[in-house]
Structure 1
């Protein structure tokens, strides 16, 4: 009986030690796993990776943990991944999706690009349209929903019986090309892009919203969160940071909180899965 008690006690100790080792191993594995960075797909996947790799490398050096960009083919795929809540450790996206991540998935904004973003509805040089309603039944080139451009088009045409035909394109430059080639009468594109195409006519410009933000999932440890936040906010003051900003063609990062984006997820009302 005494021997049996000793065996059971030893087995209990072994089980406890095994559980501790498994826990530590799991923690080490999570720490070693790259942080997955999701980015709104305004560019094709390969171009997205090329455009933002300097940011991923910069954050990797700041945290000592590699950052891997996980591109999405289109906004539908991106949206489906966001709704799962466990596909990305970091997300760089627009105001409406940033607010969604904060409100529904407990993400926290790290920092944002300064300034605001608006979209402009444009037509070709030979098409003079002064009211969006003139585009009912006509083709408008746009990134897919729930991109900010697509949602702004939906706002311009609230009557379900009076809608344009959306020609989905992979990026804003393709939207302009669709107009130039006659595959669409109009396109919705980021306002800064308009000045690059002097042959386009402006129909209307949407209300601006805060620029894109980088947010972290609740699974990111506080120490890593703070390292990334400080690295982003101090980027313009250091040589590696300035090199990164130059390569991603951005002026810098400024502080961002949940309140910066509060309310913008309302733009997602009516979107499948919201």
Structure 2
């Protein structure tokens, strides 16, 4: 056995292990930047402890800034993002899906309590607040109102919380927001909910070494099995992470067709 070990060392059979490094981790700007930091810092801290690498959480002020930075493909090592942008990076930039949040996700068109709106068509010519393109929410609005002559008035905001505030404050009639947020605001009335897509996924740039990707994947998939992982999941309000593949997101990049810069 010892002789076998010497042979392995001599001929380099053991795969090299990447030294501890620093990697940026960005989360899609659905929430305000400060709320994003508060919500997801437990995740990057957990990954740093579990992998021995320094995983740095970074934020973006809005989707336009996020989209422009993403296209440069130089500043985001790890990304927690929606299906369409995950698929875009896999197809165009060589990213690799490591794991996804369990289940699927949809978007919901909501109004205030006194809007008296039953169908999306009743919002033609009226105001809808949404995060700007290429957020999945805005793309769903565009799908819902394809006729350029029969459109709502779009009020662009930096995050979904601002969308909801616009409705509650009477500054917009409707808003398109991630469905999980709706239950947090009893003042909102659901008009319609879109079809579900695979939930947000964590993907890694090709610049992240394979062994680092594997360590992060293992930490995510094992999270629900350990006390530290369970505490992290509770802190970020995720049920768990589950295995995911690049193929699982294939095709969702087509939602970006027509978006400037695609």
Q: TM-score, normalised by structure 1?
A: 0.86
Listed as ranges, the matches of 1:73-112 within 5 Å are 73-112=61-100
- Structure 2: segments with no counterpart, 5+ residues: 1-17
> 1:185-228, CA deviations, whole angstroms, 9 ceiling, x for partnerless residues?
11111222223333322221101111100000001111111111
Aligned residues: 245
Superposed displacement of residue 31, structure 1: 5.5
Superposed displacement of residue 128, structure 1: 1.8
Listed as ranges, the matches of 1:100-249 within 5 Å are 100-249=88-237
> 1:227-246, CA deviations, whole angstroms, 9 ceiling, x for partnerless residues?
11111100010111111111
* 4+ long deviations beyond 6 Å: none
* CA distance, structure 1, for counterparts of residue 237 and residue 188 of structure 2: 24
* CA distance, structure 1, for counterparts of residue 242 and residue 20 of structure 2: 29
Picking from 259, 266, 269, the partner of 2:247 is 259
Superposed displacement of residue 33, structure 1: 4.9
Aligned residues: CA RMSD: 1.5
Structure with greater helix share of residues: 1
Q: Is the 8 A contact 1:128 1:201 kept in 2?
A: no
> Which structure's CA Rg is the greater one?
1
Question: Match for residue 47 of structure 1?
Answer: 35
Superposed displacement of residue 172, structure 1: 2.1
- Secondary structure of the 2:230 match is helix
Q: Is the 8 A contact 2:31 2:161 kept in 1?
A: no
